[in-house]
Amino acid sequence: MKYFVLNRGDETSLKLSHKFHKLANQYNMILDEKSPDIAVSIGGDGTMLYAFHKFVQNLDHISFVGIHTGHLGFYADWKPNEIEQLLSLMVEKGNSEQIIVEYPIVQLEIKTIKDTRIYYALNEITIKGIHATLVAQLDINDDQFEMFRGDGICISTPSGSTAYNKGLGGGIIHPALPSIQITEIASINNRVFRTLGSPIILPKHHHCDIYPKAKQKILLSVDHLQFEHDDIISIRSSVSHKKVRFARYRPFPFWNRVKDAFVGNESN
């Protein structure tokens, strides 16, 4: 099995990363930065975002697994003291017996006056104005839906629904539902600019186009990555045909993660 490890860079994650390499070496696993079968993220959910983007071109054949060195993560579900167990399961199950769960991701197509670019997001994309509020027309399935004015728009994946989307009042979506969720970031509502005000969930095969007012300076985020533009014509978001694959060596249901992260175990 070919593997690669990314870590958050803090002392605990670095130590754990060394330990992982040592154990992997004992199991004759092959370190491969270009085309690993499995990418191991050691840190938090933010580290998994880096891992996803490092291997975004390999999504068809790579799977991810996360060890958390802080609080419980949504993408990182192994504890540091379980590293031996994880490695022996990785070796025992190999590539053929691994249980893989696939989560939907957002596909983004950005048309500028120069070119068209495709990006993929594991959590979400956001579109914000840099010097002023964002002014943009939002279309759903090629029909004008609303004129937006405000801080910005967030479009999240189901697994990203527990991240920025949640802070914006979006709903939590189970990753088994191939969908994208559109949430507003502080919209201004008056007679000219009127938006729905509620999060919108689009199914697979629907798409949403955002047409920012010409020459606006836009800050576009794709997970932790940020890009500045003043030449965007349109931004199309949809559920990608590609998916991200996570290797699961034991069950850890999504709703349990949600409960552990946000509700806790108090039963009063």
What distance in Å separates the CA atoms of residue 258 and residue 268, rounded to the nearest whole number?
18
User: Closer CB to ligand NAP, residue 129 or residue 160?
Assistant: 160
- Alpha-carbon distances of 243 from 44, 62, 100, 128, 170, rounded to whole Å: 21, 11, 11, 26, 22
The contact set with ligand NAP (CB under 6 A) reads: 44-46, 49, 70, 73-74, 123-124, 159-160, 162-164, 167, 223-224
CB of 25 to ligand NAP, least distance (A): 28
124: annotated binding-site residue? yes
What distance in Å separates the CA atoms of residue 112 and residue 132, rounded to the nearest whole number?
20
Selected catalytic residue, list 10, 32, 37, 45: 45
What distance in Å separates the CA atoms of residue 245 and residue 77, rounded to the nearest whole number?
14
Other CB atoms within 10 Å distance of the CB of residue 241: 10
45: annotated binding-site residue? yes
33: annotated binding-site residue? no
What distance in Å separates the CA atoms of residue 210 and residue 259, rounded to the nearest whole number?
34
CB of 154 to ligand NAP, least distance (A): 8
Q: Is residue 223 annotated as part of the catalytic site, yes or no?
A: no
CB of 66 to ligand NAP, least distance (A): 9
User: Closer CB to ligand NAP, residue 162 or residue 211?
Assistant: 162
User: Closer CB to ligand NAP, residue 77 or residue 223?
Assistant: 223
Binding site, annotated residues for NAD(+): 45-46, 123-124, 149, 151, 186
